[in-house]
A and B are shown apart, each in its own frame.
Chain A
């Protein structure tokens, strides 16, 4: 007996009476043997303190009664996910995901496939007893053809599936480095099982990947045989379907390593994009010539027109000036349908309704947008539209000012079609005096602080937009 077992199973019926030192398993059950080899391996590898055993749902649900290691009990099928959670929390811990065939190959198939594909080092012990033990002998994914169970009363046939070869499947996945199928029915195989378990732990300790051991195990109770008959059944009936042996044994290098998380305030501040540096303000006050306390804007176009970026620049400019501001983009399938529109509010104190169904100002990058949102603009409002692509604006409320600026053309002349949104912003600024020109330019420069080479181009685009409006206004 290894010292990795508690000397008294306090968690088993409070350790009272016999339960304090005997397992809850039926006589001859394979689980008891496997856990014994697990305990011995942990002791021999001297990893008792580092080990966390994840107990599944199934007959081995109470593994935590016995193993004197860190213990977590997982939901049915989820042990590999739980183990990953533990492992990334403490990369030095050694995780054992111990699972039955229902747990691993049925309800938890997604979790084990992800774990075996990712390859975050874990040790998986898969107990294939060809049956659901805990719930009373129903069919498992590994139940043999013709095998009777509570849910295959006349024997398993095609309609109820075919026995799943888990070890072979796991060997195909890229994250496993060692996969072996073993059995318990004679002395030699028992020694082999112990060795396999130890090796599956070692590949984890070496930070190489997932070590996976499938154990053909006896469930005498639901096979309705004596333990020794069950051993024979495993040999004669199971083994031909589930051939024993090493399915994969990579000679791979350690790869798994995680640094300790950083809590260095300067680093955190930088990473979240914060700064103590104040930005210059240029506004004398809220642009009350547009509205006394809350201005609504809409920017609309096709995806790629830059409506959202322009909206964000306005919102940032507003906040820099000490106002409140919100921006809501259209999102999801809407944005995939080719249209992209943004609702922006700028408020003296607090934005209350972030949607802008009746905007004061509209920037329209294409005809459908102008068609759709033009009529929603408030009387006395302003519309800036891209006259390069909108030849003839629709008939609108005469109190609304229409500013047509050839944004696309100007941008193309500057050699960068994507700056047409900044051209539009220039025109918007000049036409509405929402904020001073410097406020916008500061916002543009800040947005490009990690891409300084683009600043000049954007400033130029802004300037051309403003000039285009001024020329137009002069001409009128």
Chain B
């Protein structure tokens, strides 16, 4: 509030084009200096107020009653012409915010370390720590919770932050804030929890916010059970919330890979400014195995786009809003280009004995282990089987498949779901214009995973019928 005698206190002036004629200033003026005008402002259609400042004592009450930042303002002491400087009103944005620059990540070498024996969930958590993640948000859900529990134990020891959110909805939105601040952050969840996160994931994709979500898939639909299904593949590959959404989906099959994929996930998340999902299954989360640690760890830098809360990043905005249709179309085209780049650069698959295979078994996660055993068994029996294991479920590693598919008689898709992996396979082949060979399957639901013997029997019986 201006002080001093009435002479020096500034009086108001009104910029007619920014007055919405709400009349709040009229009510506010104790001296009745302000009244509704009669002249319609052609640029707005409103009738701005008029001022008669004879009695005005510069009390300033009218300024504080005007909801418009540029509606009613004190006359400054400077030259009035400056107020109408067209460069300010119609030129580039006026802000003193400075141009942000990116601080790159640092890679810190680690000594040779003895292998650890870790649960899959723990391996992914440790992978995240080595990837530079110091912020964890989560809500407990079996069979993923050990990941959160380990983070709750370890992060405070390295001055990181663990927050147990009120729900998965809050979790993903905390990640949106933390990721938007440019920090690597993650959560562990399982299927029902992932369902709750998809709105937030759509926002993350729209606003280009990185983050890593580990979904340790369990049996569904509904509450289902906590046994290892793979029935979120559809959700992860085709249903990451509303709008034009895709994100890399990584499918580890050992605790070792849980760690490696956590490292990869953070790398991709920041490379693309995008959320990344690690899709495990209940077995993989719970299973303990040998885990070799990498030879370096990451100290994250700071991306130039972060909304960090300091001078350098003040001009930044995290938002998924593009109000004008052409703007939103352009944004979607940019997202599509990003998806194409991911599809071109990030496809990953593990091919085992595929070179001369007549039949390819297609499997991921824990079932891929059984499938690998089946390939060994079938090979011993003289059957030329191979294992095609997608490591990225999205983008589907179609290029690797395309290069070997010509000599293949059939594909046997082995999965703990109702054909969700097979759907991804078929869709990818269709998009790639590959005429697919015969496709057969071994499927289980409800948390039963296909066994090695079942896979062997299925393929053997297929070949017997053919013979």
Indicate if the CB atoms of B21 and A265 lie closer than 8 Å.
Answer: no
Indicate if the CB atoms of A74 and B289 lie closer than 8 Å.
Answer: no
Contacts of A81 in B (CB 8 A): 165-166, 169-171, 173-174, 176-177
Indicate if the CB atoms of B69 and A23 lie closer than 8 Å.
Answer: yes
List residues 128-174 of chain A with CB under 8 A from any CB of chain B: none
Chain A window 80-116, contacts with chain B (Cβ cutoff 8 Å), 1 for yes, 0 for no: 0111111111101111000000000000001101100
Indicate if the CB atoms of B43 and A276 lie closer than 8 Å.
Answer: no
Contacts of B173 in A (CB 8 A): 74-75, 78, 81-82, 85, 111
Min Cβ gap A358→B in Å is 10
Indicate if the CB atoms of A5 and B69 lie closer than 8 Å.
Answer: yes
Give the A interface residue count (CB, 8 A).
116
Indicate if the CB atoms of B166 and A110 lie closer than 8 Å.
Answer: yes
Indicate if the CB atoms of A72 and B319 lie closer than 8 Å.
Answer: yes
Give the B interface residue count (CB, 8 A).
121
Q: Does B53 lie at the interface of the complex (its beta carbon under 8 Å from any beta carbon of A)?
A: no
Q: Does A191 lie at the interface of the complex (its beta carbon under 8 Å from any beta carbon of B)?
A: yes
List residues 355-385 of chain B with CB under 8 A from any CB of chain A: 366, 369-370, 372-373, 376
Min Cβ gap A411→B in Å is 24
Kindly name the residue among B115, B173, B175, B311 whose own CB sees the greatest number of chain A CB atoms within 10 A.
B173
Contacts of A23 in B (CB 8 A): 67-69
**Contact status of A13 and B318, CB under 8 A, knowing A33-B65, A331-B226:** no
Chain B window 145-184, contacts with chain A (Cβ cutoff 8 Å), 1 for yes, 0 for no: 0000000001001111101011101110111111111110
In the bound complex, how far is the Cα of B449 from the Cα of A272, in angstroms? 31
Q: Does A368 lie at the interface of the complex (its beta carbon under 8 Å from any beta carbon of B)?
A: no
Residues of B at the A interface (CB closer than 8 Å) are: 1, 17-18, 20-24, 26-28, 30, 43-44, 46, 61, 63-71, 73, 88-97, 106, 108-117, 126, 129-130, 132, 134-135, 137, 142-143, 154, 157-161, 163, 165-167, 169-171, 173-183, 185, 199-200, 203, 207, 226, 255, 282-283, 286-290, 293, 297, 299, 307-311, 313-314, 316-321, 323-324, 366, 369-370, 372-373, 376, 449, 451-452
Indicate if the CB atoms of A83 and B43 lie closer than 8 Å.
Answer: no
Contacts of B95 in A (CB 8 A): 6-7, 68
In the bound complex, how far is the Cα of B449 from the Cα of A226, in angstroms? 67
Indicate if the CB atoms of B318 and A72 lie closer than 8 Å.
Answer: yes
A-B CB contact pairs (8 Å), 11 listed = A13-B324, A27-B20, A32-B66, A50-B309, A71-B319, A78-B176, A81-B173, A84-B174, A90-B308, A226-B23, A261-B134
- CB nearest to B91 among chain A residues: A8
Indicate if the CB atoms of A261 and B158 lie closer than 8 Å.
Answer: yes
Indicate if the CB atoms of B114 and A274 lie closer than 8 Å.
Answer: yes
**Contact status of A11 and B317, CB under 8 A, knowing A28-B24, A29-B67, A272-B129:** yes
Indicate if the CB atoms of B286 and A190 lie closer than 8 Å.
Answer: no
In the bound complex, how far is the Cα of B317 from the Cα of A64, in angstroms? 8
In the bound complex, how far is the Cα of B22 from the Cα of A227, in angstroms? 6
Indicate if the CB atoms of B181 and A89 lie closer than 8 Å.
Answer: yes
Of the candidate stretches A320-328, A375-383, A400-408, the one touching chain B is A320-328
Q: Does A246 lie at the interface of the complex (its beta carbon under 8 Å from any beta carbon of B)?
A: no
Indicate if the CB atoms of B372 and A88 lie closer than 8 Å.
Answer: no
Residue among A27, A70, A93, A261 making CB contact with B21, cutoff 8 Å: A27
List residues 2-30 of chain A with CB under 8 A from any CB of chain B: 5-8, 10-11, 13, 15, 17-18, 20-23, 25-30
**Contact status of A274 and B113, CB under 8 A, knowing A8-B92, A89-B177:** yes
In the bound complex, how far is the Cα of B349 from the Cα of A111, in angstroms? 40
Indicate if the CB atoms of B181 and A261 lie closer than 8 Å.
Answer: no
Contacts of A75 in B (CB 8 A): 173, 176, 199-200, 203
Indicate if the CB atoms of B373 and A85 lie closer than 8 Å.
Answer: no
Q: Does A471 lie at the interface of the complex (its beta carbon under 8 Å from any beta carbon of B)?
A: no
Indicate if the CB atoms of A325 and B178 lie closer than 8 Å.
Answer: no
In the bound complex, how far is the Cα of B186 from the Cα of A110, in angstroms? 21
Min Cβ gap A418→B in Å is 20
Of the candidate stretches A346-354, A359-367, A422-430, A462-470, the one touching chain B is A346-354
Min Cβ gap A356→B in Å is 12
Q: Does A121 lie at the interface of the complex (its beta carbon under 8 Å from any beta carbon of B)?
A: no
Indicate if the CB atoms of A85 and B185 lie closer than 8 Å.
Answer: yes
List residues 31-69 of chain A with CB under 8 A from any CB of chain B: 31-33, 35-37, 39, 48-52, 54-55, 61-62, 64, 66, 68-69
Min Cβ gap B115→A in Å is 6
Indicate if the CB atoms of B23 and A86 lie closer than 8 Å.
Answer: no
Q: Does A289 lie at the interface of the complex (its beta carbon under 8 Å from any beta carbon of B)?
A: no
Indicate if the CB atoms of A48 and B135 lie closer than 8 Å.
Answer: no
Indicate if the CB atoms of A271 and B116 lie closer than 8 Å.
Answer: no
In the bound complex, how far is the Cα of B197 from the Cα of A296, in angstroms? 38
Min Cβ gap A78→B in Å is 4
Residue among A36, A187, A228 making CB contact with B23, cutoff 8 Å: A228
Residues of A at the B interface (CB closer than 8 Å) are: 1, 5-8, 10-11, 13, 15, 17-18, 20-23, 25-33, 35-37, 39, 48-52, 54-55, 61-62, 64, 66, 68-75, 78, 81-90, 92-95, 110-111, 113-114, 186-187, 190-191, 194, 220, 226-228, 231, 258-265, 267-269, 271-279, 312, 315-316, 319, 324-329, 331-333, 350-355, 357
In the bound complex, how far is the Cα of B63 from the Cα of A36, in angstroms? 10
In the bound complex, how far is the Cα of B316 from the Cα of A37, in angstroms? 22
In the bound complex, how far is the Cα of B93 from the Cα of A66, in angstroms? 11
Given pairs A27-B22, A81-B174, A86-B307, 18 additional interface contacts (CB within 8 A): A7-B88, A11-B317, A28-B20, A32-B68, A69-B314, A75-B176, A84-B177, A92-B309, A231-B27, A261-B160, A262-B160, A267-B158, A268-B129, A268-B130, A279-B114, A324-B289, A354-B369, A355-B283
Indicate if the CB atoms of A70 and B314 lie closer than 8 Å.
Answer: yes
Contacts of A327 in B (CB 8 A): 287-289
Indicate if the CB atoms of B177 and A10 lie closer than 8 Å.
Answer: no
Indicate if the CB atoms of A18 and B116 lie closer than 8 Å.
Answer: no
Indicate if the CB atoms of A6 and B93 lie closer than 8 Å.
Answer: yes
Residue among A111, A267, A273, A278 making CB contact with B116, cutoff 8 Å: A273
**Contact status of A71 and B370, CB under 8 A, knowing A23-B69, A85-B173, A276-B112:** no
Residue among A113, A228, A331 making CB contact with B166, cutoff 8 Å: A113
Indicate if the CB atoms of B452 and A353 lie closer than 8 Å.
Answer: yes
In the bound complex, how far is the Cα of B166 from the Cα of A329, in angstroms? 28
In the bound complex, how far is the Cα of B309 from the Cα of A62, in angstroms? 19
**Contact status of A52 and B309, CB under 8 A, knowing A8-B88, A68-B95, A85-B175:** yes
In the bound complex, how far is the Cα of B73 from the Cα of A329, in angstroms? 70
In the bound complex, how far is the Cα of B24 from the Cα of A231, in angstroms? 9
Indicate if the CB atoms of A21 and B142 lie closer than 8 Å.
Answer: no
Indicate if the CB atoms of B24 and A227 lie closer than 8 Å.
Answer: yes
Indicate if the CB atoms of A332 and B142 lie closer than 8 Å.
Answer: yes
Indicate if the CB atoms of B17 and A18 lie closer than 8 Å.
Answer: yes
- CB nearest to B46 among chain A residues: A27
Indicate if the CB atoms of A89 and B319 lie closer than 8 Å.
Answer: no
Please give me the 4 A-B residue pairs with the lowest Cβ-Cβ distance, nearest first.
Answer: A85-B177, A93-B309, A32-B67, A7-B94
In the bound complex, how far is the Cα of B137 from the Cα of A75, in angstroms? 17
**Contact status of A329 and B286, CB under 8 A, knowing A93-B309, A273-B116:** yes
In the bound complex, how far is the Cα of B66 from the Cα of A219, in angstroms? 15
In the bound complex, how far is the Cα of B160 from the Cα of A274, in angstroms? 19
Indicate if the CB atoms of B180 and A272 lie closer than 8 Å.
Answer: no
In the bound complex, how far is the Cα of B90 from the Cα of A17, in angstroms? 7
In the bound complex, how far is the Cα of B178 from the Cα of A61, in angstroms? 20
Indicate if the CB atoms of A85 and B178 lie closer than 8 Å.
Answer: yes
In the bound complex, how far is the Cα of B126 from the Cα of A327, in angstroms? 18
- CB nearest to B167 among chain A residues: A110
Contacts of B26 in A (CB 8 A): 228
Min Cβ gap A352→B in Å is 3
Min Cβ gap B23→A in Å is 5
In the bound complex, how far is the Cα of B324 from the Cα of A26, in angstroms? 20
Indicate if the CB atoms of B20 and A114 lie closer than 8 Å.
Answer: no
In the bound complex, how far is the Cα of B183 from the Cα of A260, in angstroms? 12
Contacts of A275 in B (CB 8 A): 113-114
